[in-house]
Amino acid sequence: MKPVTVFRYLWALPNTLLGLLLLVPALLSGGRVKLVDGVLEISGRAVVWVLERIPFAGPADALTLGHAVLGRSEEILEQWRRHEQVHVRQYERWGPFFIPAYAFSSLYARMKGRDGYLGNRFETEAFVGEKDVIT
Ligand SMILES: [Zn+2]
């Protein structure tokens, strides 16, 4: 593994650890965990429970936390994979500052009269970037 790759994983690690908190509850609730392109995709009933209760953003189909992607089901994870991979790259750039920056971008969009989700610059980048990711 290249040093820059190690740094990206370490830089995003605080966020990844948040996602990994759901690993055991997901497995205990009949979920699945899959490693795809260096990213852990986690699904299951415990994940659904969390996705329906995300403050200001729920209910969601999927959520990226560093190198962990939470999804309602394996099918939904596959459907959103390219989009969530863009978010993984964003976590690799922003590290522990990603969540505050994301929240600020949603707040800023709302202040400008735009939708807090679709007007968020990180979502705009993900919706554009999902078309460019080669899988
Ligand atoms: Zn997104």
CA of 86 to the centre of ligand 1 (A): 8
CA of 83 to the centre of ligand 1 (A): 6
Ligand 1 ion local residues (Cβ < 5 A): 123, 126
Say what the pLDDT of residue 130 is.
83
Query: Which secondary structure element, helix H or strand E, spans residue 33, and what is its range?
Result: strand 32-36
Say what the pLDDT of residue 133 is.
55
pLDDT tens-digit map of 11-70:
999 999 999 999 999 999 999 999 999 999 999 999 999 999 987 677 899 999 999 999
Question: What is the distance between the alpha carbons of residues 118 and 129, in angstroms, rounded to a whole number?
Answer: 14
Say what the pLDDT of residue 121 is.
96
Give the residue-averaged pLDDT of 78-83.
96
Identity (one letter) of the amino acid at 21? L
CA of 78 to the centre of ligand 1 (A): 14
CA of 117 to the centre of ligand 1 (A): 8
> Can you say whether the dihedral through the CA atoms of 22, 118, 97, 133 is positive or negative?
positive
CA of 62 to the centre of ligand 1 (A): 8
CA of 42 to the centre of ligand 1 (A): 16
Q: Please, what is the average pLDDT of the chain?
A: 93
CA proximity to 91, closest of 8, 7, 6, 4: 8
Say what the pLDDT of residue 104 is.
96
Give CA angle at 74 (68, 78), nearest 5°. 80
Share of the chain above pLDDT 70, in %: 96
Give the residue-averaged pLDDT of 114-122.
94
Say what the pLDDT of residue 73 is.
96
Q: Which tokens is 35 given?
A: 């490693």
Question: What is the distance between the alpha carbons of residues 46 and 54, in angstroms, rounded to a whole number?
Answer: 13
Give residue 135's pLDDT band: very low, low, confident or very high (50, 70, 90): very low
